[in-house]
Amino acid sequence: MKKYLLIFSVLVLFVTIACVKEPLAMYYDLGVVEVISDSTSVNFNVPDPDTNGWHQWEGGEGTNTFTITLKEKAKKDVVINEVVWTFYTLDGGYVAQRGVDYIPPIKIDAGKEHELTLTIKVDEGIADDLDDATGDANDFYGEGTIEFDVRGYDVERGNEVNTIPSYTPITVQR
């Protein structure tokens, strides 16, 4: 009798497992960091010291200070080890990317915020690319967008965090 009960149990287990129609997926609970910029639009004044126009690799540079807030939204402790900002033209064309590494990394507790102050530099090369993309090339005026993003991982599993980037419109002029 025990032999039949064991065989029956194994058959029930086999039938139950065989009834699965698709592979079972595992979805990790990932940290999510939202980047919030304090600025709605920013102007960069980029000088042209040699007065022959903006060109790649020349010395003119404009700077501005941005305050961004990193807000953890998934109720997971996370660590941020890099903040990246990317310059785009008005139509979404890539111009350049810069960033800063944080060693030791910035720890953000679940559901909390962390404020950072970044000094963003726009050199003549970036200014020239934005100027050319705006339409009237070499008129010393350009428009674009900066995307702020972060890189990091959650403390519990070490999985890369998802981010909600921030976008800030910018103008460049001499």
Nearest Cα to 106, choosing from 97, 96, 115? 115
- Please give the average per-residue pLDDT across 9-17, as a whole number: 65
pLDDT for position 13: 61
What whole-number percentage of the chain has pLDDT above 70? 87
pLDDT for position 19: 60
What are the Cα distances from residue 56, in Å, to 53, 75, 91? 10, 44, 21
Q: pTM (2 decimals)? A: 0.80
Give the rounded distance of the alpha carbon of 3 from its chain centre: 61
pLDDT for position 151: 97
pLDDT for position 136: 77
Does an H or E element contain 15, and which?
helix 2-18
Q: Which of residues 7 and 16 earns the better pLDDT score?
A: 7
pLDDT for position 77: 94
CB atoms inside a 10 Å sphere around CB 126 = 24
Query: How does pLDDT run across 109-151, given as a tens digit for each residue?
Result: 999 999 999 999 999 899 889 998 887 777 889 999 999 999 9
pLDDT for position 2: 67
Angle at 65 between CA 64 and CA 71, to 5 degrees: 140
Across the chain, mean pLDDT equals 87
pLDDT for position 54: 79
- Please give the average per-residue pLDDT across 3-32, as a whole number: 67
Domains identified in the chain and CATH numbers: 2-173 (2.60.40.10)
Q: Over 90: is that where the pLDDT of 174 sits?
A: no
Which of 28-32, 35-39, 67-71 is predicted with the least confidence, judged by mean pLDDT? 28-32
Nearest Cα to 58, choosing from 68, 49, 71? 49
Q: Which of residues 23 and 90 earns the better pLDDT score?
A: 90
- Please give the average per-residue pLDDT across 38-51, as a whole number: 85
pLDDT for position 59: 81
